[in-house]
Amino acid sequence: MATEIEKKVMEAKMASITLASVDTQTKDKALEAMARALDENRNRIIEANNADLEEAGRMKAEGKLSQALVDRLKVSNSKIDGMISGIRDVIKLEDPSGRTMKTLELDTGLDLYQVSCPIGLIGVIFESRPDVVPQIMSLCLKSGNATIFKGGSEALNSNRTIFDILVKAMENTEGIPKGAFQLMETREEVMDLLALDDYIDLLIPRGSNEFVKYIQDNTKISVLGHADGICHVYVDNSADMNKAYDVCFDSKVQYPAVCNAMETLLINKEIAEDFMPEMMKRYDEAGVELRFDEDSYVIAENLGLKNIKKATDEDWKTEYNELILSVKLVDSIKQAIDHINSYGSHHTDAIITEDAAKRKQFIDLVDSSSVMVNASTRFADGFRYGKGAEVGISTNKIHSRGPVGMEGLVIYKYVLLGNGDKVSDYAGDEPKPFTHRVIDRKLSDALNN
């Protein structure tokens, strides 16, 4: 007999079939209804979030919740503005489903169409950050994917309230199937979800390193995401110092509790004594704890900084998610690249340089999903990349990589239109030849003729 969780998942799986065929106009109408519903229910959302914040404060005091998770949990009016803006940005985006990607004529009157289509049923498991719910729900709806949400217990009230508001607005839109979006709320449900590989097509975990690794290690379902966000900025000996100060400060301090914040600063030895005094002063005044390798410590200990330590090997492979930064001096761009590829998480890494050859070398050789030149690592984000929002950031090398928007929520199918054609005509002693000619024709146009 199916459990309550299985019933919810099966209902969503069935609804995913209908949702995949909903037209763009209907989906956009539902998205606008969702945006209006968030605006009309601000007080209700903030009241629910305050209850979560109160409990989170107690958990932090007991050492059960980190400050980074508490920061991600808070919902303000400006965050609600961001949720609404994100949904409306998704409305403006092209529907990625149902597009003819390529058309190949196999023979006269026998045409093969490669057409984008939704993945199906997606499971989203996340910690804190209630704004994940509207972000991912809007992207999944627009791309035609049904979704199972499982948020952390620390955001129980916020997630439930936002989810209920959005689903009510969506399902009141004519043409949107009921049951396509489901919410799970208990810790026990996570293990149940991970075992439902017969129904769930893709999992997207968002949270701490340990959390994502746990998901990856305990399911047969394909997982899109990243476990670590160990990002670097390398300041080259041909860097513009003012650009370096701004980019390095922003990469660490602008919002340290996220996966695209810098964790290790690499500095070319030739410019270290000129660059470090001003840069480290800025970090020190911002409350950053600085951890130096042996070479950089020699310079740092004479700068009058308040909060410095010596780095250990563990620091080079640690994602702090707070105002802590490890600093290392390197002899060359090659050594910087080797360090990044050895200790980094293939997430986002940056170079500050005015040398064109070194820019290309860094771009070509750094094996990361986003590579920045003279720009902050914090730009690695679906919204900033013009995707409306993101379902997550992937360091995988299959399907999708980097900040993943709707393009990561579709796959494709092949559709062959013929006229009684049979393979036996193309086999045997005198087979008909295939033309294999690429043609400019959409499936929708062919079906309407």
Supply the CATH classification number for the domain 4-102+113-224+401-409: 3.40.605.10
Sequence letter at residue 289: E
Kindly report, residue by residue over 218-248, the tens digit of the pLDDT: 999 988 876 678 999 999 999 999 999 999 9
* C-alpha dihedral sign at 68, 74, 75, 79: negative
Kindly report, residue by residue over 259-304, the tens digit of the pLDDT: 899 999 999 999 999 999 999 999 999 999 999 999 999 999 999 9
Residues 69, 89: Cα–Cα separation, whole Å: 27
Q: Give residue 397's pLDDT.
A: 66
Q: What is the mean pLDDT of residues 85-112?
A: 94
Kindly report, residue by residue over 149-206, the tens digit of the pLDDT: 988 888 899 999 999 999 999 999 999 999 999 998 877 788 888 999 999 999 988 7
Q: Give residue 400's pLDDT.
A: 76
Taking the model in full, what pTM does it have?
0.78
Q: Does residue 316 have a pLDDT over 60?
A: yes
Q: Give residue 226's pLDDT.
A: 67
- φ and ψ at residue 234, rounded to 5 degrees: -105, 125
| SS3 state of residue 263 | strand
Mean of the per-residue pLDDT values of the chain: 92
Q: Does residue 1 have a pLDDT over 60?
A: no
Kindly report, residue by residue over 323-340, the tens digit of the pLDDT: 999 999 999 999 999 999
Supply the CATH classification number for the domain 231-385: 3.40.309.10
CB 228 within 8 A of CB 319: yes
Q: Give residue 388's pLDDT.
A: 67
Choose the weakest-confidence range: 121-125, 129-133, 141-145.
Answer: 129-133
Residues 35, 141: Cα–Cα separation, whole Å: 13
- φ and ψ at residue 218, rounded to 5 degrees: -125, 25
More confident residue, 108 or 406: 108
CB 73 within 8 A of CB 130: yes
Enumerate the domain spans of the chain: 4-102+113-224+401-409, 231-385
Residues 16, 146: Cα–Cα separation, whole Å: 5
| SS3 state of residue 407 | helix
Residues 435, 288: Cα–Cα separation, whole Å: 64
| SS3 state of residue 191 | helix
- φ and ψ at residue 321, rounded to 5 degrees: 60, 25
* C-alpha dihedral sign at 241, 245, 247, 248: positive
Residues 182, 55: Cα–Cα separation, whole Å: 25
Q: Give residue 227's pLDDT.
A: 62
Degrees (nearest 5) of the Cα angle 91, 378, 214? 85
CB 146 within 8 A of CB 12: yes
Residues 200, 402: Cα–Cα separation, whole Å: 22
Q: Give residue 53's pLDDT.
A: 92
| Model confidence band, residue 413 (pLDDT cutoffs 50, 70, 90) | very high
